[in-house]
Structure 1
Amino acid sequence: MNDIANDTDTGVPALLRNVPSSVDFKKLRKRLLRQAREAISDFGMLPAEASQEKRPKWLVCLSGGKDSYTLLAVLIELKWRGLLPVDLLACNLDQAQPGFPADVLPRFFEENGIEHLIIREDTYSIVTDKIPENRTYCSLCSRLRRGILYRVAREQGCEAIVLGHHREDILETFFMNLFHGGRLASMPPKLINDEGDLLVLRPLAYAAESDIAKFSARMEFPIIPCNLCGSQDGLQREEVKRMLQGWEKQTPGRLGVMARALAHTRPSHLMDRSIYDFVNLRPADGAGDAQGGEAEEPCGASLAMTAKLFAAE
């Protein structure tokens, strides 16, 4: 992969012209690019017929946080390198929060020559009217925001909305569902909306939050904090985040192993009768039942030995 740190060629996107030139940053940037390419490929985020001549259009959602800035930068670089035949349209939804710095993202887009939309919808008033004070706003706020983004994507002829959720977001959602929802579910890297006309994509699904934080800081993105509600620190998700961070600190690489587990399920070794036919499971003649048998699996200790590998990626 060619270095772009000091490239002043007018063909280089403005966002990439002054990236840090240190060896560590180059490795970090390339790691994020590789992980995004793998996620896009693994989950078929691009249609088979996509090409430079026949490009789908993606609505890339920007909140002003580190994750969405990093997502946009990664997608722009992949597109510039000819590795992502997609038209990108950046979009920020201004939800009319008091004190929201409405000038930050438009200036960022314009300075970097990024095609964009700014949509202003007063969801703040709706949320604060419907939800009692000191209660969590996130659920209603998220539903309202998603509905608006779906509408904008349709109006702009986009095939997908693209979000900046990363590995830790996916793991946190898994444990939220496990602890509080009584189900094994998380954020999939790719899903289709209820209406069946739009995809929701998460190309940073393999990326570690720590890598994104380092990348964002080194790129000096103008971060806009989320301060809609004053109860954020007490959210159940924050508790799960602290739990995961504690596990990672105690055993570096554990989050990578856990994320790998989400892609290696064995329905015959769980308890969901809707996805595995336990009722009709019977011994087979001869060699036994290979499908539901006790296939040898690596023990937890051997899996933990891969921790350093995952942590270093």
Structure 2
Amino acid sequence: MSVSDSGQIQSAKAAPSPEQAKKAKTQFNKLQKRLRREVGKAIADYNMIEAGDRVMVCLSGGKDSYAMLEILMGLQKSAPIDFELVAVNMDQKQPGFPEHVLPQYLDQLGIEYYIINRDTYSVVKEKIPEGATTCGLCSRLRRGTLYTFAEDIKATKIALGHHRDDIVETMFLNMFYGSRLSAMPPKLLSDDGRNIVIRPMAYCREKDLVRFADCKGFPIIPCNLCGSQENLQRQNIKMMLQDWERQQPGRVEHIFTSMQNIKLSQMADTSLFDFKNLQIDRSSERKAYEFADDQTVDGKPARDAVKMVNIVNL
């Protein structure tokens, strides 16, 4: 037991037993291996990082970007190729933002890092009405700044900390509110062709990253500009997917897998598939239908059809 400054009695948290500590360590090791395996697979599947790359790892101060940097640093040590990691944070001058947290953390890691100071907070608050969603403008300003800075430091790849749940949420967000079928690709060439964005954690589940961050004790910095706003469209999508996942575990994973298995001929985009010029081709011999022997046909065919049937039967 302990006494707080206000004089209230507080219960001390009991230290874990040796058995509990051993079990917790085993579970963490499994979690860390799974995350590294998933990140490694995503990097390999999409050729995200190549020999000689200088990867700009974007840190927001949230659990996902901390985990991305941690995992990439671990993979860097064992990777068969050499590549550089540069940590970059953009201080958007939000009121109360703890400017000291990230520099202190990165100093301990001994990694090259930069803090970009740009007051996008004031711009967003000026342009967006009170209560409206700020995420769109905020992300555009942040993206433009980071793209430019990547060139300044000669980074060849820009790594963002989006995970599988983010990607699926974005797809539904664009479907429901944007009337388009698109999401966050694991690898993206910017519109001007000057930067490549990678998402190494595209295969990782958010709940695993939450556990990983808790175990590592990352100094999390909340986003008070947009993340705390209520009734955001993304939050509605997130709640919908969480409800689906409770009803049928694994549904989000199936949705993500379907994004990797797209059949354009089964969709409806005329710019991606030529529906107008589809033609039948019966020049080859028709394959035998295995259930044809059990089939009977009733009806009264047209005269021309009767003649054709008789000709075929000759």
The answer to whether the Cα contact below 8 Å between 1:232 and 1:238 also exists between their aligned partners in 2 is no
Opposite residue 176 of structure 1, the aligned amino acid is L
SS in 1 for 2:225: coil
- Deviation per CA, 1:127-151, whole angstroms, max 9, x where unpaired? 1111111111111111111111111
Structure 1: how far apart are the matches of 2:130 and 2:82?
46
Q: 1:44 aligns with which of 47, 62, 73?
A: 47
Within the candidate set 196, 199, 204, 1:199 is matched to 196
Other structure's SS at 1:223 match: coil
Q: Name the amino acid aligned to 2:107.
A: E
Residue 28 of structure 2 is aligned with which of 25, 28, 32? 25
The 1:271–1:287 alpha-carbon spacing in structure 2 relative to 1, beyond 3 Å, is farther
CA distance in 1, matches of 2:226, 2:242: 23
Give the CA deviation at 1:159.
0.6
Q: Describe how 1:8-157 pairs up with structure 2 within 5 A.
A: 22-47=25-50, 50=51, 55-83=52-80, 85-157=82-154
Larger radius of gyration between Structure 1 and Structure 2: 2
Question: TM-score scaled by structure 1?
Answer: 0.81
Amino acid at match of 2:192: E
Contact 1:166 1:207 in 2 (8 A): yes
Supply the AA of the counterpart residue of 1:151.
T
Structure 1 pair 21/77, CA: closer, same or farther in 2 (3 Å)?
Answer: farther
User: Which amino acid counterpart does residue 152 of structure 1 have in structure 2?
Assistant: F
Match of 1:214 in 2: 211
Secondary structure, counterpart of 2:155 in structure 1: coil
Change (3 A) 1:231 1:45: closer
Secondary structure at 1:118's aligned position in 2?
Answer: strand
The partner residue of 2:241 within 241, 244, 252 is: 244
Q: Quote the Cα distance in structure 2 between the aligned partners of 1:288 and 1:122.
A: 68
Once the 2 structures are TM-superposed, how far is the Cα of residue 229 of structure 1 from its aligned partner? 4.0
1:258 paired to 2:258? no
- Offset of residue 46 of structure 1: 2.6
Matches of 1:31 and 1:84, distance apart in 2: 21
**Alpha-carbon separation, structure 1, partners of 2:87 and 2:270:** 43
- Per the TM alignment, residue 287 of structure 1 is displaced from its structure 2 partner at its CA by 5.4
Q: TM-score, normalised by structure 2?
A: 0.81
* 1:53-108 superposed Cα distances (whole Å, 9 cap, x missing partner): xx110110000000000000010000012345310000010000000000100000
Runs of 4+ in 1 over 3 A off after TM superposition: none
Moved more, 96-105 or 127-136: 127-136
SS at match of 1:234: coil
Runs of at least 5 residues in structure 2 that lack an aligned partner in the other structure: 1-22, 288-314
Aligned counterparts of 1:278 and 1:41: Cα–Cα separation in 2? 34
Residue 278 of structure 1 and its aligned partner are, at CA, apart by 1.2
Flag the 1:242–1:281 CA change in 2: closer, same or farther, 3 A.
same
SS of 2:268's partner is coil
Mapped partners of 1:217, 1:56: distance in 2: 30
Unaligned runs of 5+ in 1: 1-19, 290-313
Q: Per-residue deviation at 1:277?
A: 1.2
Name which of 269, 272, 279 aligns with 1:272. Answer: 269
Percent identical:
48
Distance in 2 (CA, whole Å) between partners of 1:139 and 1:219 is 31
In 2, are the aligned partners of 1:134 and 1:231 still within 8 Å (CA)?
no
Conserved in 2, the CA contact under 8 Å of 1:135 and 1:231? no
Aligned to 1:292: none
What one-letter code is carried by the residue in structure 2 that aligns with 1:223? I
Report whether the alignment pairs 1:163 with 2:160.
yes
Task: Please give the alpha-carbon distance, in whole angstroms, between the structure 2 residues aligned to 1:238 and 1:109.
Answer: 31
CA contact (8 A) 1:172 1:237 kept: yes
- Work out the CA distance in 1 between the residues paired with 2:175 and 2:273: 20
Structure 2 distance, partners of 1:118, 1:287, is 68
| Cα offset, 1:27, TM superposition | 1.0
Structure 1 pair 229–40 and aligned structure 2 pair: CA distance change class (3 A): closer
Stretch moving more, 279-288 or 248-257? 279-288
Indicate how the Cα distance of structure 1 residues 81 and 98 shifts in structure 2: closer, same or farther if over 3 A, else same: same
